[in-house]
Amino acid sequence: MRLVSTPRIEFLRGLATEILHNYGLGRQIVAVGGPTGSGRIAFAEDLAEVFDEREHPVFRASLRYFHRSRFAQEAFGPVTPDRDYRHRYDYATLRRVLIDPFKMGVATGFVTQHWDPDRDTWIQPTWQTAPIDAILIVDGDFINRRELNGLWSYSIVLDGAPQSAADRLYEAEVNPRQIASAVVDNSNPAHPRRLLLDSC
C-alpha cells in the first residue's frame, strides 16, 4: 500500500533506496540505534513500512526483547551503569535464535522476541521464515557496541545527547556516530535530516 507522502516518509524512502541499492540481495540486517528518547523505535517501525511499501520483505526486532533475566543480571553484581551497559542484554541468545538463523538464507526459522523485560519472563517463541532476499530491522540501546557492530549490513544512529550513565559509557567506548552508515537528526521527527560528520 502506498504511504502518504510527508517529509518524514520521503526521507525514509531515500534511506531505503540507498540500502536496497547496496544491500538489496540476500538477507541483510539494518540496525537503528540512539539514546533513549531519540525515537528509534518509531523510526525503525516507519522505515519497515517503507520497505513494505516497496514490497521488499521486511521483519522487525528490538533488543528490548533480548534482555537477560533480572536474576541473571544480578549475577554480575549490584545495579551500576557498568552492569547496565555490559550485562543487560543476552547477545548469545540474540545470535542463536535470531541473527544466525536469519542470515542463513534458507528455510531456517528465527525468533524476533525472546524475553519480556517488564514481566521478567520468557516469551513463547513464534518461529518465522523469510525469503532469500529480506531485510531485518533491529533497534536498541548500545547497538553498535563491539559485540554487535559486525552483524549489521547498515547502521543508522539517531543523534542525541546520552540520557544515562550507561549511554555515556557506550558513547565513550564506541563513538557510534563515527562507525554508523548514517547519522540522523531526529529531534523533529516530522522532518528528520541526515548529518554529515567531519571525520578529520
Q: Taking the chain, what is the end-to-end CA distance rounded to the nearest angstrom?
A: 43
Domains of the chain from N-terminus onward: 7-28+40-133+140-195 (3.40.50.300)
pTM to 2 decimal places? 0.95
Chain segment 46-101, per-residue pLDDT in tens = 999 999 999 999 999 999 999 999 999 999 999 999 999 999 999 999 999 999 99
Tell me whether strands 182-185 and 193-195 are parallel, antiparallel or unpaired.
Answer: antiparallel
pLDDT for the residue numbered 106? 77
Q: How far is CA 93 from the centre of its chain?
A: 16
Cβ–Cβ < 8 Å for 65, 116: yes
Cβ–Cβ < 8 Å for 167, 60: no
The pLDDT of residue 28 is above 90 = yes
| CA distance readout (Å), 4 to 58, 120, 183 | 19, 38, 24
Average pLDDT in the 142-147 region?
94
Cβ–Cβ < 8 Å for 101, 109: yes
199: confidence class by pLDDT, cuts 50, 70, 90: low
